[in-house]
Amino acid sequence: MIKEIDVKRIEDAVARLCVSANKILPQSVTDSICTACKTETDGLGREIMCDLVRNIDAAKELDIPVCQDTGMAVVFIEIGQDVHLVGGSLCDAVNRGVAKGYTDGLLRKSVVADPLNRINTDDNTPAVLHTKVVDGDCVKVTVAPKGFGSENMSKVKMLTPAAGRDGVVKAVLDIVREAGSNPCPPMVIGVGIGGDFEQVAYLSKKALCRDLGTHNKNEFYAELETELLEKVNELGIGPQGFGGKTTALGLNIEYAPTHIAGLPVAVNIGCHVTRHKSEIIK
């Protein structure tokens, strides 16, 4: 049976999520920052972690965003195949929601209409919109505002199959080492492996939306997540780049089938303000 869902409900959800994602971090990110505030062994690093905890608390108390860079609105929408969207264009509804959320929520507008002429659109639209048709009769809306201090340090590398697992480990460590203090560490690291050039970048962004402390369901990739996180934290970049063992709070991998001649790897770096929030519309 087909269920009708009005796109106005998606617009309202996007507006709410833009505001709440910017003001309240995912619980797993907050928990991880609080834990590192106790476990970081470097004195300066520990002080910085405690400052980050104070910043999260202050944002909650004052009802303001956790960071001044409230990001570009990345929106993932999963549409059940038994849903018929009514009430107009989905894309227009998402952008109306972003404009409303960023304007009413007094969030910084960071989007320019053209990458070279750079005129601000003044309402943070358009969103980067990813849609996927899935089973069921619901719509899942996720908003992941992305700051560009961390986005700018992200990279895609097209390895050859001969590079194998070791080549992937090296590529990830090289990218994180090169990022250094720029992405406001401690980082959250999204790794995409496989697919093609554009899919691997998408996978790395999706990986940032998985809660910290969860693992890839595939045991091989779950082990690789653990190994890579340990190795990243051995780099010694530390909180805000001042040294210490808390370079990353988490590292998630998403993978996909790929071509016999390739081994694409993408690293999407998130900062300590890695945000995402979801609602399910039934």
Residues that bind ligand SF4 (CB under 6 A): 67, 69, 147, 149-150, 183-184, 271, 273
Give the shortest CB-194-to-ligand SF4 separation in angstroms: 27
Using CA of residue 27, residue 31, residue 32, residue 34, what is the dihedral sign?
A: positive
Token reading at 180: 């250094």
94 vs 188 by CB, closer to ligand SF4: 188
d(CA 13, CA 31): 25
d(CA 59, CA 24): 8
CA of 15: how far to CAs of 27, 51, 133, 196, in Å?
20, 29, 22, 32
Euclidean distance between the first and final Cα of the chain, in Å?
14
142 vs 216 by CB, closer to ligand SF4: 142
Give the shortest CB-67-to-ligand SF4 separation in angstroms: 3
CA-closest candidate to residue 271, choices 23, 33, 19 = 33
Give the shortest CB-10-to-ligand SF4 separation in angstroms: 25
Secondary structure of residue 159 in the 3-state scheme: strand
Q: Are 26 and 213 in contact (CB under 8 A)?
A: no
d(CA 204, CA 275): 14
CA of 235: how far to CAs of 50, 132, 163, in Å?
21, 37, 22
107 vs 228 by CB, closer to ligand SF4: 107
Question: Closest CB to ligand SF4 belongs to which residue?
Answer: 147
d(CA 227, CA 130): 30
Give the shortest CB-66-to-ligand SF4 separation in angstroms: 8
224 vs 269 by CB, closer to ligand SF4: 269
Token reading at 189: 């690291």
Give the shortest CB-153-to-ligand SF4 separation in angstroms: 9
Give the shortest CB-237-to-ligand SF4 separation in angstroms: 14
Give the shortest CB-40-to-ligand SF4 separation in angstroms: 18
100 vs 146 by CB, closer to ligand SF4: 146
79 vs 107 by CB, closer to ligand SF4: 107
54 vs 132 by CB, closer to ligand SF4: 54
